[in-house]
Structure 1
Amino acid sequence: MVSLAGTCGNALVIVLYMTCAKLQATVSNLLVVSLAITDLTTCLLVMMPSAWALLADRWPLTAWTCDLHCAVNYLCIIVSMMTMALISGERFLAVTQPAIHRNRMTRQLLARLEALVCVEGVVFAAVPIVFRWVRYDKWEAVCAIDWFTYSEALIYVLVAFVVCFSLPAVFILITNTTIICVSYVSSRARVLPHSLPAQENGRRRAKDERPEKRANRSSLHHVIVRSMLVVIIAFFVFLTPFSVTKLIKMWTMDEDSVPGPVNLMATLCQYVASAINPFIYFLLRRDYRAAAWRLLRPQEQPRPHAFQRQLQVPEVVPYDSCDMMQLNALPQFQDNK
């Protein structure tokens, strides 16, 4: 159920981004769709094989697919974590240095940074396959690294935890704390424009509408910040049980130090972190809800306004005969003489 919900939700986010020009105009949505692609990969290539293995009470596929399952799982977790760090950095720059963000933060730059994140994830995910450290964990229902048998695997896990999780987590904590403080101060200091009566001069009216447009852009900015904060908080909340169980096992070096059902629930929480993001977008962001509504509802032909229908020119019927009624309908010109 979690896999199906995550697959439908993340696929819808990707389709909306590809079909809606308004979503593509917002630079930060590129990171959102990248995170959706990562979560969709987790739902298809990690969750579904885990559900199959859980029902079969063993790994039902071949050995090399177990290695691939472990690699894809680690790749998606690392890319998700680093993408969260990129989202936090992009929002931090947008809040603290808006001028630099408008001039420097382009879609090409974010694409290059996301490509580097994917390369880092591929490197760390390939190491366990190269050294054959992977085995199927029955209670976690995933193919994971066996650091109890291979001592070198423990060093790798510690390095990966520091580089791919601890450092990004500290960066995310600092940047989002700053974002919350700056957003709170700016919301207290912001003065909303008063509604002015319509002016006859068009230039005066356009000048009066500028504060309203700035207020709308500021409102969209705060909505994006709020939704991204909720996504990051949800990611850490659901990933924490999985990380804590791993740390306990590494600290005690005892595989049975964590009960089996607790391991299974920790894995399920990790999967929920990849499936919940689309629902946060649709709940908190009006632009995604509007794009989804335009995509899912049937297209209707717009009807002209009543005033426009009155202005439509009637079709002219040619006069093929000399009927007196048609001749009388022609315009009459009186001779003043």
Structure 2
Amino acid sequence: MAVSEVNGSVSAEVQWPEAERWLLVAVLAVEMLMGVVGNICVLTVKVMCRGQFRCRYWLPFFSLSLSDLGCSLLITSGSMLATIAEGQSSPWCEAVSLLKFAFITSSIGSIAILCVQRAMGPSSAKSPVFVVMATACSASWLTGVVFGSVPVVYAWIRYDPAEMLCAVFWENSYSDMLTYILCAFSLCIFLPFLLIFACSAITAAGGLRGNREAEADLSDVAPLLVASYMVCYTPFFVSELVLLGSLDLAPAPNWLRTLSSVMSYLDCGVNPLIYCCHQTFREAGLALLWTRRRAESEPVLTAITTTET
């Protein structure tokens, strides 16, 4: 998200060797295909097969899948093309920076809302609590767009070869950087994390007391979604903490910034695989595919010929 610029040139400029550059292109292409195909399939199953598996809290699941699909379709593909072309041009450069932060914020917001609903139980899926959850879900998208727009408005955006996309470049104002990152992370990252940890603890305590319903629900995969997000976004958070600790605005090492982008894109492709760990959801998807295949292969009566005897 953020790197520094010293005397008008990027510190530790990255010049990818040809072999490494095309290896990154291949990795990004695989992650893009996983994210796009996987999330389209997930959204299709969620819409067309809702009655075949139990899902009380469909709103955060739908929001998370939309966020993952958008990130794979726009951001991951943008990074892949930028790696091939060795740069990104305006206005796509600014749009990518804005959208990436919006997708990061909406993803963790959706997971936090899912954890809150699981802790509250089935009552959270009914009005008026559902209205509050829908408002919070929309707010996570809006907050990401607002904080993603600030660097664009102040022209802090430059292409960073290490992150393989346009990122925020800080020049000579540590106070501006500190204020922006602390505000963005406090509202968009730390607050959802607190909700996730607190609500996960409440849900786990309820499960130990035997208060959870026996029937399986798609929300049972929430712990795996949380674990995947934590693992995949840890390099991103570490790189931001390194920047916060550098009074001279020195960025995180190039390898860490590259790893943060690759791992964040990986999360979008892993989430559909996590949904498939749920048996009834997986069976609904397979049933939908099998029904379509059978419908295409069944013979169709086109005419009737009668023979007189």
Task: Count matched residues.
Answer: 264
**Structure-2 residue corresponding to 1:114:** 137
Structure 1: distance between partners of 2:240 and 2:51: 42
1:92 aligns with 2:119: yes
User: What amino acid sits opposite 2:143 in the alignment?
Assistant: E
Summarize the Cα distance change of 1:123–1:33 in structure 2 as closer, same or farther, 3 Å threshold. same
- 1:235 equivalent in alignment to 2:235: no
Counterpart of 1:162 (choices 169, 183, 186) is 186
Q: 1: CA distance between counterparts of 2:236 and 2:79?
A: 15
Cα distance, 1:163 vs. partner?
A: 1.1
Aligned to 1:293: 286
The separation in 2 between residues aligned to 1:33 and 1:102, in whole angstroms, is 14
Residue 214 of structure 2 corresponds to residue 218 of structure 1? yes
Contact 1:17 1:23 in 2 (8 A): no
2:75 matches 1:46: yes
CA-to-aligned-CA distance 1:126-156 (integer Å, 9 cap, x gap): 1111111111111111211113445424321
1:107 positional shift: 5.5
Q: After the TM superposition, which segments of 4 or more aligned residues of structure 1 sit over 6 Å from their partners?
A: none
Counterpart contact for 1:128–1:134, Cα < 8 Å: yes
Are the equivalent residues in 2 in contact too, given 1:27–1:107 (CA < 8 A)? no
Q: How far has the Cα of 1:255 moved from its partner?
A: 5.9
The alignment partner of 1:297 has SS state of helix
- Per the alignment, residue 40 of structure 2 pairs with 11
SS of aligned partner of 1:218 = coil
Deviations 1:46-101 (A, max 9, x none): 11110111223322xx221111010000100011111111111011101xxx5x44
Distance in 2 of aligned mates of 1:119 and 1:101: 22
How far, CA to CA, are the matches of 1:25 and 1:110 in structure 2? Answer: 19
2:95 to 50, 65, 68: 68
Identity %: 25
Deviations 1:221-255 (Å, cap 9, x if unpaired)? 4xx34311111111011101111011112212456
Alignment TM-score, normalising by the size of structure 1? 0.72
Q: C-alpha displacement at 1:24, in angstroms?
A: 8.6
What residue is the counterpart of 2:203 in the other structure?
179
- The reply to whether residue 275 of structure 1 matches residue 259 of structure 2 is no
Query: Hey, what's the Cα distance between the residues in 2 that align with 1:54 and 1:145?
Result: 18
Aligned 8 A contact 1:239 1:270 in 2: yes
| Letter aligned with residue 91 of structure 1 | R
Structure-2 separation of matches of 1:243 and 1:66? 22
Aligned to 1:123: 146
Higher relative contact order (CA 8 A, sep 6+): 2
Query: How many angstroms apart in 2 are the aligned matches of 1:147 and 1:25?
Result: 48
Mapped to 2, the partners of 1:38 and 1:255 lie a distance apart of: 31
Residue by residue over 1:172-205, the C-alpha shift from the partner in whole angstroms, topping out at 9 and shown as x without a partner, is: 1111012112212217xx9xxxxxxxxxxxxxxx
Task: Give the 3 Å change call, closer, same or farther, for CA 24–289 of structure 1 in structure 2.
Answer: closer
Displacement after TM superposition at 1:274 (Å): 1.7
Shift of 1:169: 0.8
The SS at the match of 1:63 is coil
Where 1:113 maps in the other structure, the secondary structure is helix
**Per-residue deviation at 1:23?**
6.1
Alignment-mate amino acid for residue 114 of structure 1: C
Residue in 1 aligned with 2:170? 147
Letter in 2 for 1:65: W
Q: Matched residues in 2 for 1:295 and 1:225: separation?
A: 21
Distance of aligned partners of 1:103 and 1:73 in 2 relative to their CA distance in 1, 3 Å threshold: closer
- 1:27 alignment partner AA: R
SS of 1:49's partner is helix
The TM-score normalised by the length of structure 2 is 0.78
Give, in whole Å, the separation in 2 of the partners of 1:79 and 1:90: 16
C-alpha distance in 2 between matches for 1:147 and 1:171: 31
Contact 2:170 2:249 in 1 (8 A): no
Aligned partner of 1:136 in structure 2 is 159
Structure 1 residues 294 and 71: alpha-carbon distance in aligned structure 2, compared to 1, 3 A threshold: same
1:67–1:129 CA contact under 8 A, matched in 2: yes
User: RMSD value over aligned CA atoms?
Assistant: 2.3
